[in-house]
């Protein structure tokens, strides 16, 4: 039994505003979300949705996860940049060099992302700051094979396709507050939530919440080996 990656969740002061931004950039449809917040459903082979959940905690550090969006041509790259700026995004400086071809932007609440130059296809992914150990953890947790494992950099991809998830290796910046962008896992229907939590703990996760109570609607909060919070719950 392995959990499924149900969503990548963003804390947001204005969830609807941020969801509309990403819907405009990605071309995904907004959907009612019975689990609170606002959701976007993919229009491509991405196997997970995006969720935007209300939070009043301010963003105090650079996110450990960001999207690297690919471009088929220079014109397509500029089109994505223009769309992002038109929906309320902005240019930011995270130390990128002038000669680098990607464009670094932020959404209306400061969540960083990159629009890559054409030809830079490997990095089209959900890019994460993280150790080799955490890449191995998520490969086993999700049952996604490693597609890159070199110089302490790792990447995994679903057997069904979709984007890669990458970890850049050391140094990993220290955690300064709640992780605002995080994974939400779902246990397949009919499977045992406490059993899956025990499996994840055995792989190297740590518990944040108390043990599951048997309430199938209540998520269990855990942290991966790098201290990134994530949740797991039973499927509806």
pLDDT, tens digit (0-9, with 9 covering 90-100), for 5-20:
999 999 999 999 999 9
Residue 217 pLDDT = 66
Q: How confident is the model at residue 27 (pLDDT cuts 50, 70, 90)?
A: very high
pLDDT exceeds 60 at position 129: yes
pLDDT range class, residue 155, cuts 50, 70, 90: very high
Q: What is the mean pLDDT of the chain?
A: 90
Strands lying side by side in the sheet with 153-157? 90-91, 103-106, 112-115, 65-69, 125-128, 164-167, 153-157, 146-150
pTM of the model as a whole: 0.92
Q: What pLDDT sits at residue 40?
A: 96
Least confident of 10-19, 28-37, 48-57, 69-78: 28-37
Task: Work out the pLDDT band at 26, boundaries 50, 70, 90.
Answer: very high
User: Please, which residues bridge with residue 103 across strands?
Assistant: 115
29: how many CB neighbours lie within 10 A of its CB? 12
140 by Cβ neighbours in 10 Å (0-12 / 13-18 / 19+) ranks as: middle
């Amino acid at each position: 039994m392995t959990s499924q990656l149900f969503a990548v969740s963003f804390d947001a002061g204005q969830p609807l505003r941020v969801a509309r931004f990403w819907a405009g950039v990605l071309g995904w449809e907004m959907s009612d979300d019975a689990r609170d917040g606002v959701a976007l459903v993919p229009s491509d082979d991405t196997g997970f949705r995006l969720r935007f959940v209300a939070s009043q905690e301010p963003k105090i550090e650079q996110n450990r996860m960001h999207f690297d969006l690919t471009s088929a041509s220079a014109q397509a790259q500029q089109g994505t940049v223009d769309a992002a700026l038109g929906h309320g995004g902005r240019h930011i400086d995270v130390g990128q060099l002038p000669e680098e071809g990607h464009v670094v932007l932020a959404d209306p609440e400061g969540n960083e992302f990159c629009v890559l130059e054409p030809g830079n296809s490997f990095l089209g992914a959900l890019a994460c700051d993280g150790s080799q150990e955490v890449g191995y953890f998520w490969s086993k947790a999700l049952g996604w094979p490693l597609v890159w494992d070199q110089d302490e950099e790792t990447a995994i991809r679903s057997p069904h396709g979709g984007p890669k998830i990458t970890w850049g290796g050391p140094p990993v910046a220290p955690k300064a507050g709640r992780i605002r962008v995080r994974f939400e896992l779902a246990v397949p229907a009919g499977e045992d939530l406490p059993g899956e939590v025990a499996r994840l703990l055995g792989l190297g996760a740590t518990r944040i919440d108390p043990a599951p109570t048997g309430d199938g609607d209540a998520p269990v909060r855990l942290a991966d080996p790098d201290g990134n919070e994530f949740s797991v719950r039973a499927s509806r």
